[in-house]
Amino acid sequence: MNLKLITQQVCDLAKEVGSFVRSEVDMVRREDIETKGLHDYVTYVDKTSEKRLVKGLTKILPEAGFIVEEGTTKIKGQRYNWVVDPLDGTTNFLHHLPVFSISIALMDNNKVILGVVFEINTRECFFAWKGGKAYLNDTQIEVSSTKSLNDSLIATGFPYADFSSLDNYLEVLRSFMKSTRGIRRFGSAAVDLAYVACGRFDAFFEYGLHPWDVAAGAFILQQANGIVTGFNGSNNFISNKEIVASNGYLHNIILSHVKKYL
C-alpha cells in the first residue's frame, strides 16, 4: 500500500469537499439547523460533506469501512477504517467564524496510519502518513521547542454538554491562566491538534471528544514529534474521550496540572 500517494489523494479530496463547505457558509438558513443534542447542531452541509467524503474515500481504498460522525454510512472494514469528521467546528461555521475543518484518518485495525486535517478557510492542509514526517501544505512541520510553561500558549475546548467535570475543568483553567502566556478556544479540536503539530500552540487538552475529532490531528502531531495521551498518561486517547497533546517537552507539567483536578 502506497501510503504517501493515498495521503495525497485524501488531501485533494478534502480540498475539493472543503470548497463545497466554504461555498455554503452564506447559504445555510435557520430552518436548516437540526439539534442532535444539547448545544450540538448539524445541517445538510455536514451531511453532504460526509457523503462526498465517503464516496471519494471508497474510490481511494475500496476495502476500507468507516467511522463517521453523521452516520451516513454503516459500512465497516475488516482491517481498514476511515475515521471522518466532515465538518469539525460546526458552531463556528453556523456563526460565520472562520475556524472549521475536515478531519480524516485511516486506521489499520486499531492503529492510525495516516491523517489529514484541512482547515477550510485558510486552505491549510496538515497531513502525515506512517513512516513519513508531518506537513503543512508543502512544508515539513514540527512541534514548538518551548520548554517552560510560563512561555507557552495552550488550547482547549470548553465543555458545552457534559458538565459532569465542569468545576474541576475550571480549576485546571485557573491554574493555566496563572502559569501560561494564555489559553485559546478556537472551536475545532482537529485544528487545535494540527496547530500543536506546527508549533503555533504548545499544548492542547479537552474532555468529551470523539474518535473523529482527534484521530487525524493526534496522528499528525505524533509524526511532528509531539506527544498525545489520555489524562492519566495512557495511550488510549482516541476512544477514551479525554486528551492531552503537547510538544513533548511540556507534557509532564501539562499532565500534572490536568491530573490534579480532572
For residue 113, give the 3-state DSSP assignment: strand
Nearest to ligand IPD by Cβ — which residue?
Answer: 157
Q: Where are the beta strands (DSSP E) in 138-198?
A: 139-141, 153-156, 182-184
Q: Which is nearer to ligand IPD, 40 or 151 (CB)?
A: 40
**Per-position x/- string for 105-134, each x denoting binding to ligand IPD as judged by CB under 6 A, each - no binding:** ------------------------------
188 binds ligand IPD (CB under 6 A): yes
Apex 68 CA angle, 186 and 78, nearest 5: 135
Contact 197, 143 (CB under 8 A): yes
How far, in Å, CA of 62 to CA of 114, rounded? 16
Judged by CB under 5 A, the stretch of 62-70, 134-142, 160-168, 234-242 that binds Ca ion is 62-70
For residue 133, give the 3-state DSSP assignment: coil
Q: Which option in Ca ion, ligand IPD, none does residue 157 bind, with CB closer than 5 to 8 A by kind?
A: ligand IPD
Task: Please state, in angstroms and as integers, the Cα–Cα distance from residue 42 to each residue in 32, 37, 50, 92, 188, following that order.
Answer: 8, 10, 12, 12, 15
DSSP letter for each residue of 49-100 = HHHHHHHHHHHH-TT-EEEETT-S-----SSEEEEEEEEETHHHHHTT-S--
Q: Which is nearer to ligand IPD, 205 or 249 (CB)?
A: 205
Q: Which option in Ca ion, ligand IPD, none does residue 107 bind, with CB closer than 5 to 8 A by kind?
A: none
Residues from 79 through 98 that contact ligand IPD (CB under 6 A):
85, 88-91
Q: Which is nearer to ligand IPD, 87 or 113 (CB)?
A: 87
Minimum CB–partner distance for residue 125 and ligand IPD (Å): 18
Q: Which is nearer to ligand IPD, 243 or 250 (CB)?
A: 243
How far, in Å, CA of 15 to CA of 102, rounded? 9
Number of residues in the chain = 262
Q: Which is nearer to Ca ion, 84 or 250 (CB)?
A: 84
Contact 117, 101 (CB under 8 A): yes
Residues from 147 through 176 that contact ligand IPD (CB under 6 A):
157
187 binds ligand IPD (CB under 6 A): yes
Minimum CB–partner distance for residue 220 and Ca ion (Å): 15
Give me the residues that bind ligand IPD (CB under 6 A), please: 85, 88-91, 157, 187-189, 206, 208-209, 213
Give me the residues that bind Ca ion (CB under 5 A), please: 69, 85, 87-88, 213
